[in-house]
Structure 1
């Protein structure tokens, strides 16, 4: 019998976007990508950070409709995080899709997943901010190892990003 909070098995497909795949118990296929996005910090070359934008998407949902709650998805995504960037001290910027008006709900759900899973190892840290672009609110998270040698400077830059343009 499978423990409900045990992560699903996943596969690292690799490629330019560092793709991971996993399938849930009811055949919903997820794709987790870590897309190189170092341009977030291009103006700050002294930071020396490999930055990636994380994308979590449904690759296939044969049943269609709304996704049922699945306690194994969050631990799977967290294990994928660890597999991809902790050893190499990558920095992840997570942008919650808000094109359908559900960005805030996605941000809240991801935060819940992150804090519930990270409490087990306490090796990552997350910083959140909201950027207002016209009438849109964009929910962003910065995630990195607590051991990153430039953590303080990276957080400082992330929290000020976009302010120079105003």
Structure 2
């Protein structure tokens, strides 16, 4: 069971939903054709950065452990992939507040709980110039015909980042 959501679209392919506590989340699939070094136009045209954004919290406290949130994120993910079956999603955990590992654990939990073997997820760590670490995940459909090339581009992205 998940929350009702709606697709607003726009530049970020935005989805929105509201929890029982009045918290509003935005799920985006931001087009990022520059992310991978690939000459394959299908990979370039189908690469998106996936983000889960807390848009509004009327309580200004940490949201509760609401199981419907994970189910809703997964339902949105499925809806997006129905629209773009060759989509390539890259999830980069926000680290602005130092809680990136908490976000990664939560996302990993949702993936394990709700994945019906439709998707494959590969995890890596990116580092910035100050050696701050950012968990990153690649999520694609198992039926994507360019799986091997996408995996290679993802590994290359993380390798280039560590140089």
Q: Tell whether the structures are fold-level matches, with TM greater than 0.5.
A: yes
Distance in 2 (CA, whole Å) between partners of 1:141 and 1:24 is 25
CA distance in 2, matches of 1:146, 1:108: 22
> Counterparts in 2 of 1:143-162, with a 5 A limit?
143-162=139-158
Correspondences of 1:2-151 after superposition (within 5 Å): 6-41=1-36, 43-46=37-40, 48-49=42-43, 50-86=46-82, 87-118=84-115, 121-133=116-128, 134-151=130-147
Between the aligned partners of 1:31 and 1:18, the Cα distance in structure 2 is 10
Unaligned runs of 5+ in 2: none
* Contact preservation (8 Å) 2:125, 2:158: no
- Segments of 4+ moved more than 3 angstroms: none
Report the Cα distance in structure 2 between the residues aligned to 1:139 and 1:162, rounded to whole angstroms.
Answer: 11
2:33–2:48 Cα contact (<8 Å) kept: yes
Across the two proteins, how many residue pairs are aligned to each other?
A: 158
Structure 1 position 46, deviation (Å): 2.4
Helix, strand or coil at the partner of 1:109: helix
Q: Distance in 1 between matches of 2:41 and 2:152?
A: 11
CA-based RMSD: 1.4
Unmatched tracts of structure 1, length 5 or more: 1-5
TM-score by length of 2: 0.91
